[in-house]
């Protein structure tokens, strides 16, 4: 921003200037201050040393512009003055220029000319400031250089770091005691035995460089085999500078042999830790797979066992119908078929047929649920599934397992909802959540009375109460569905809830649970299914697992 002091006894000049430069003032490009005679201008300049330029009329009452011009160097030697005068006052203009005015403007003022003069004057002020700052920086740099040279010499003389000064021709002109200690030779032999090695390292790290002062601060690590057979690792830093009026390389050498040994030990430890982590992750993956296979195996066994009932009933009914059919055929062939015999046979056939259809349909539904469970074991391809029929098969497969005995499994899902997703992954998630609910939410059954434990001796919290697990689905407004698996069981302790999705977190470790089910569920939901999962639980009031899944999986 340019700051301009306008000095004029005409009050209208202030209005005209502010009107003309209102945009520059509004944008902050220019700032105008106003005074009406030389004395007021000097007071303003003393109060505001940041003013860049004075635009002053020559003819003013009190202190005129020429007198003001004489006082400006004592107030601010960097300020630039532009004088304003009438056409008939060229003598005063000449006098103003002789007294140090930067420029002048003739009245009446041409504002285009005034604007150009202002910009030219402000640029001159900035140039002077830059030149002064550069000069100051040069002086500061020279002083710092002299101080640095003195400090460098003191450092070189007593530094615990090895220091060698080598000319651009490869001659060693200085080395300190630490440098001789690193190379293991006296100073007088360092020139012939070690200086060529150092110079070669310097040349290798400064290839194709001019011999000027523009190539600085090259660092690297080198190793040197001493005459006693010991290998010394050194961090080498090279600076190009001047020493005793000639360009030289200062080589700084720091012993890092111990650090190298430690780094090698750390590398071996890191490799060992990474191998252990890989083994742990592989074991964790195997455990997750084993747990999923165990859950699926239990479901398959339960469903297969449940199929035996309708199949057995159907077989018995079919055998009975076969016997009745053989009897009616023999009676018919013997010519002894009576109307009552035929009516009895028809009634039997109708009842048996109804029984056969009902039990075969139940067996077919169980087989369908078994098929869904077995397909969920593999990484099934992406497909579109009707949510209600899909969940019905899951519910049917789960409610026949022994852990669900005595409990109620409810499905609440509106018709018409469909997901374009990965059914295998979703099956694994739902089986794990439902199995978890029946395994953890409800207390185990008590021991029967009469086996050494009376009914009054059983703990109150071990009494089995029928529970309810509900699978509910609702549509959300952002192309997602919310699927809840909730129970009215005992809930999850508050101290475990923050760690539920971490591996090996369980409340039943002593009962054979590994605590990997929810960890696997979290990875499937947030990964392959592209959804979110939350758990809301309160001790004594049950648990609700909330899945939010997109209608189209990513």
> Of 378, 404, 389, which is closest to residue 302 (Cα–Cα)?
404
Q: Are residues 60 and 187 in the same domain?
A: no
Residue ending a domain, choose from 225, 259, 293: 259
* C-alpha distance from residue 487 to each of 252, 434, 515 (Å): 72, 10, 19
Residue-level pLDDT at 474: 92
Q: What angle do CA 170, 176, 182 make, to 5 degrees?
A: 85
pLDDT exceeds cutoff 80 at 275? yes
State the pLDDT at residue 135.
86
- For residues 88 and 217, membership in a common domain is answered with no
Note whether residue 235 is domain-resident. Answer: yes
pLDDT for 190 equals 78
Same domain, yes or no: 396 and 432: yes
Is 347 a domain residue? no
The tally of domains found in the chain comes to: 3
Cα separation, 202 vs 165, in Å, equals 11
Tokens of 13: 């000049």
Query: Same domain for 65 and 194?
Result: no
β pairing state of 218-225 and 103-107: unpaired
Tens digits of residue pLDDT in 97-111 = 888 888 888 888 888
Which pLDDT tens digit goes with each residue over 377-416?
445 678 888 888 888 888 877 776 777 778 888 999 998 8
Same structural domain, 125 and 162: no
C-alpha–C-alpha distance, residues 486 and 471, integer Å: 7
CATH code of residue 519: 3.30.565.10
436 pLDDT more than 60? yes
Range of the domain at 207: 157-259
CATH number, domain containing residue 207: 3.30.450.20
* Burial classification of residue 99, based on how many CB atoms lie within 10 Å of its CB (0-12 exposed, 13-18 middle, 19 or more buried): middle
343 domain-assigned: no
Last residue of a domain, one of 259, 281, 301: 259
Max Cα-Cα span within the chain: 158
Query: Do residues 405 and 545 share a domain?
Result: yes
Nearest to 185 by CA among 232, 222, 221, 152: 232
The answer to whether the beta carbons of residues 6 and 32 sit under 8 Å apart is yes
Same domain, 432 and 391: yes
> How many angstroms separate the CA atoms of 548 and 530, rounded?
9
Statement to judge: residues 109 and 67 lie in one domain: yes
Q: How far apart are CA 162 and CA 172, in angstroms?
A: 13
Task: Look at 39-53, 59-73, 161-175, 344-358 and tell me which has the smallest mean pLDDT.
Answer: 344-358
Please check whether residues 403 and 508 belong to one and the same domain: yes
Q: 104: which 2 tokens? A: 């002048």
**Residue 339, domain member (yes or no):** no
Residue finishing a domain among 233, 259, 285 = 259
pLDDT at 306: 63
Do 12 and 132 reside in the same domain of the chain? yes
Q: Is residue 76 part of a domain?
A: yes
Decide if 14 is inside a domain: yes
Kindly state whether residues 94 and 228 are assigned to the same domain. Answer: no
**CB-based contact 516:284 (threshold 8 Å):** yes
Say what the pLDDT of residue 481 is: 92
Cis peptide preceding 108, ω within 30 of 0: yes
Is there a domain that residue 125 lies in? Answer: yes
Q: Between these two residues, 406 and 549, which has the higher pLDDT value? A: 549
The CA-based dihedral angle spanning residues 162, 166, 171, 177, taken in that order and rounded to the nearest 10 degrees: -20
Is the domain of 502 the same as that of 424? yes
């Amino acid at each position: 921003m340019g700051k301009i002091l306008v000095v004029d006894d005409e009050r209208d000049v202030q209005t005209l200037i502010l009107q003309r430069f209102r945009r520059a003032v509004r944008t902050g490009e220019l700032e105008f201050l106003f005074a009406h005679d030389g004395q007021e201008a000097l007071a303003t300049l003393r109060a505001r040393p940041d003013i860049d330029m004075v635009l002053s009329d020559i003819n003013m009452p009190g202190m005129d512009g020429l007198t003001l011009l004489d006082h400006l160097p004592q107030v601010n030697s960097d300020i630039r003055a532009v004088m304003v005068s009438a056409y008939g006052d060229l003598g005063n203009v000449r006098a103003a220029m002789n007294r140090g005015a930067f420029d002048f403007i003739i009245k009446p003022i041409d504002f285009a000319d005034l604007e150009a003069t202002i910009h030219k004057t402000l640029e001159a002020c900035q140039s002077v400031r830059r030149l002064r700052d550069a000069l100051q920086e040069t002086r500061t740099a020279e002083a710092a250089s002299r101080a640095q040279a003195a400090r460098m010499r003191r450092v070189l003389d007593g530094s615990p770091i090895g220091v060698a000064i080598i000319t651009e021709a490869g001659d060693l002109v200085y080395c300190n005691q630490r440098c001789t200690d690193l190379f293991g030779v006296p100073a007088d032999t360092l020139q012939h035995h070690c200086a060529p090695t150092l110079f070669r390292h310097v040349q290798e790290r400064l290839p194709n460089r001019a011999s000027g002062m523009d190539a600085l601060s090259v660092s690297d690590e080198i190793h040197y085999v001493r005459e006693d057979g010991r290998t010394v690792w050194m961090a080498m830093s090279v600076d190009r500078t001047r020493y005793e009026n000639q360009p030289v390389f200062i080589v700084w050498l720091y012993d890092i042999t111990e650090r190298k040994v430690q780094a090698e030990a750390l590398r071996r430890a890191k490799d060992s830790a990474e191998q252990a982590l890989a083994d742990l992750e592989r074991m964790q993956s195997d455990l997750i797979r084993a747990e999923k296979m165990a859950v699926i195996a239990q479901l398959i066994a339960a469903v297969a066992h449940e199929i035996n009932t309708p199949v057995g009933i159907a077989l018995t009914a079919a055998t009975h119908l076969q016997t009745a059919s053989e009897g009616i055929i023999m009676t018919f062939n013997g010519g002894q078929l009576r109307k009552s015999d035929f009516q009895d046979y028809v009634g039997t056939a109708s009842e048996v047929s109804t029984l056969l259809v009902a039990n075969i349909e139940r067996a077919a539904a169980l087989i369908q649920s078994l098929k869904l469970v077995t397909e969920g074991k593999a990484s099934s391809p992406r497909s579109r599934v009707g949510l209600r029929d899909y969940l019905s098969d899951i519910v049917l497969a789960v409610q026949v397992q022994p852990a669900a005995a005595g409990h109620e499994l409810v499905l609440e899902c509106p018709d018409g909802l469909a997901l374009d997703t990965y059914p295998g992954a979703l099956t694994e998630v739902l089986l794990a959540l439902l199995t978890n609910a029946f395994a953890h939410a409800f207390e185990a059954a008590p021991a029967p009375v009469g086996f050494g434990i009376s009914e009054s001796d059983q703990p109150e919290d071990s009494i089995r109460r029928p529970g309810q697990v509900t699978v509910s689905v609702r549509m959300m407004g952002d192309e997602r569905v919310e699927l809840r698996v909730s129970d009215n069981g005992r809930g999850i302790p508050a101290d475990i809830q923050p760690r539920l999705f971490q591996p090996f977190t369980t409340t039943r470790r002593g009962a054979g649970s590994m605590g990997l089910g929810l960890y696997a569920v979290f990875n499937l939901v947030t990964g392959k299914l592209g959804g979110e999962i939350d758990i809301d639980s309160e001790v004594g009031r049950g648990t609700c697992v909330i899945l939010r899944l997109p209608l189209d999986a990513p």
